[in-house]
C-alpha cells in the first residue's frame, strides 16, 4: 500500500512541485502556491457538488432535529422521515463520501510533499534526489532556496518582539482568518438555531448547536496553534487552501441565493 501511494501520488506530486520550482525561478513559495491552486482547480468537479450538498445538509439541521424529537421512540419511522426529507430536497447523504476521501488523501499527500521538500532543503539534497525523476535531480552540492518574501519556509512564521513571546506572523493569521471564514460559511445560522433550540423541551438541539459552534472555532484555533510549530511553507500551503475554499464556498452560496430569487 505504501509503495502504491508513493508511486501514484507522493512521487508525482513531489516531482511536479520541483518542476514548478525550476520554472518559477527557484522560488519554492511560488511553487507551493501554484501547485496548491492547480490541484484545487482540478478538484472543483468533486468539491462543488460536495459543498452544495453540505450546505443543504446544514440548512436542514433544524428540520432534522424536529424529526428526531417527533420520532424519538421509533427509529424506523425516524429513518424513513429523514430519507423522505433528503429526497424532497434532492440530497444523497452518501454522495459526498468518495469525493471527501479523494480530497483527504490528496491533502495528506500535499502536506507530506511540502513538509518533505522543506525538511530536505534544510538537511541534505540527497534525500530529495532519491525521490526525484532523473531529469529533475539537483546537482551535487546544490540546495533549495527556502526564502519567500520575509519567510524562511523551513521555519515557523513568527514575529519575535524583544522582551515578549513570539507572536504569529502574517501568513499564520491569514490562514486562521480564512479557515474561520470558510467554516462560518458552512454554518447557515447558528443564532437562529440557538433560538429554536431554546424553544424545545429536550436538549438534543442544544447539543447539535454546541457541536456546530465547536467546529466553527476549533479548526481556526488549531491552525493558529500549529502555526507556532509548523514550517511556514506548510502554513503558506494551508493559507492558499483555506482562501480557495472560502472563495469557492462564497461563489456557491451566491449562486444559490440567485437561484432562490429566480
3-state SS of the chain is CHHHHHHHHHHHHHHHHHHHHHHCCCCHHHHHHHHHHHHHHHCHHHHHHHHHHHHHHHHCHHHHHHHHHHCCCCHHHHHHHHHHHHHHCCCCCCCCHHHHHHHHHHHHHHHHHHHHHHHHHHHCHHHHHCCCCHHHCCCCCCCCCCEECCEECCCCCEECCCCCCCEECHHHHHHHHHHHHHHHHHCCCHHHHHHHHHHCCCCHHHHHHHHHHHHHHHHHHHHHHHCCCCCHHHHHHHHHHHHHHHHHHHHHHHHHHHHHHC
- Neighbour count for residue 197 (Cβ, 10 Å): 20
Instruction: Tell me phi and psi for residue 158, to 5 degrees.
Output: -130, 150
pLDDT of residue 215: 64
Of the listed ranges 11-25, 98-112, 203-217, 229-243, the least confidently predicted one is: 203-217
140 vs 210: which has the higher pLDDT = 140
CA-CA distance, 179 to 68, in Å (whole number)? 31
pLDDT of residue 177: 93
pLDDT of residue 214: 65
pLDDT of residue 202: 47
pLDDT of residue 89: 77
pLDDT at 20 exceeding the cut of 90: yes
- Neighbour count for residue 168 (Cβ, 10 Å): 20
126-164 per-residue burial string, b: 16 or more CB within 10 A, e: under 16: eebbebbeeebbbeeeeebebebeebbbbebbbeeeeee
Of the listed ranges 25-29, 92-96, 166-170, the least confidently predicted one is: 92-96
Q: What is the mean pLDDT of residues 41-48?
A: 83
Which pLDDT band holds residue 5 (cuts at 50, 70, 90)? confident
The C-alpha cell 429554536 sits at 196
CB 14 within 8 A of CB 113: yes
pLDDT of residue 244: 92
170 vs 252: which has the higher pLDDT = 170
Which pLDDT band holds residue 72 (cuts at 50, 70, 90)? confident
Q: Taking the model in full, what pTM does it have? A: 0.79
Q: What is the mean pLDDT of residues 94-122?
A: 75
- Beta partners for residue 168, in sequence order: 158
Amino acid at each position: 500500500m505504501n509503495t502504491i501511494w508513493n508511486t501514484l501520488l507522493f512521487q508525482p506530486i513531489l516531482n511536479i512541485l520541483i518542476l514548478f520550482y525550476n520554472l518559477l525561478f527557484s522560488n519554492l513559495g511560488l511553487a507551493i502556491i501554484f501547485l496548491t491552486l492547480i490541484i484545487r482547480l482540478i478538484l472543483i468537479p468533486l468539491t462543488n457538488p460536495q459543498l452544495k450538498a453540505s450546505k443543504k445538509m446544514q440548512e436542514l439541521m433544524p428540520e432534522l432535529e424536529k424529526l428526531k424529537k417527533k420520532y424519538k421512540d421509533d427509529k424506523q419511522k425516524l429513518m424513513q422521515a429523514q430519507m423522505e426529507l433528503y429526497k424532497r430536497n434532492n440530497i444523497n447523504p452518501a454522495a459526498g463520501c468518495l469525493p471527501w476521501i479523494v480530497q483527504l488523501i490528496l491533502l495528506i499527500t500535499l502536506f507530506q510533499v511540502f513538509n518533505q521538500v522543506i525538511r530536505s532543503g534544510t538537511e541534505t539534497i540527497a534525500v530529495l534526489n532519491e525521490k526525484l525523476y532523473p531529469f529533475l535531480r539537483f546537482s551535487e552540492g546544490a540546495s533549495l532556496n527556502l526564502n519567500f518574501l520575509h519567510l524562511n519556509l523551513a521555519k515557523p512564521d513568527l514575529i519575535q518582539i524583544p522582551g515578549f513571546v513570539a507572536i504569529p506572523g502574517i501568513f499564520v493569521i491569514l490562514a486562521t482568518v480564512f479557515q474561520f471564514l470558510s467554516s462560518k460559511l458552512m454554518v447557515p445560522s447558528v443564532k437562529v438555531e440557538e433560538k429554536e433550540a431554546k424553544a424545545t423541551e429536550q436538549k438534543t438541539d442544544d447539543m447539535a448547536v454546541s457541536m456546530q459552534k465547536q467546529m466553527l472555532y476549533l479548526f481556526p484555533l488549531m491552525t493558529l496553534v500549529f502555526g507556532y510549530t509548523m514550517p511556514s511553507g506548510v502554513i503558506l500551503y494551508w493559507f492558499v487552501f483555506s482562501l480557495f475554499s472560502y472563495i469557492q464556498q462564497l461563489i456557491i452560496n451566491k449562486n444559490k441565493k440567485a437561484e432562490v430569487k429566480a
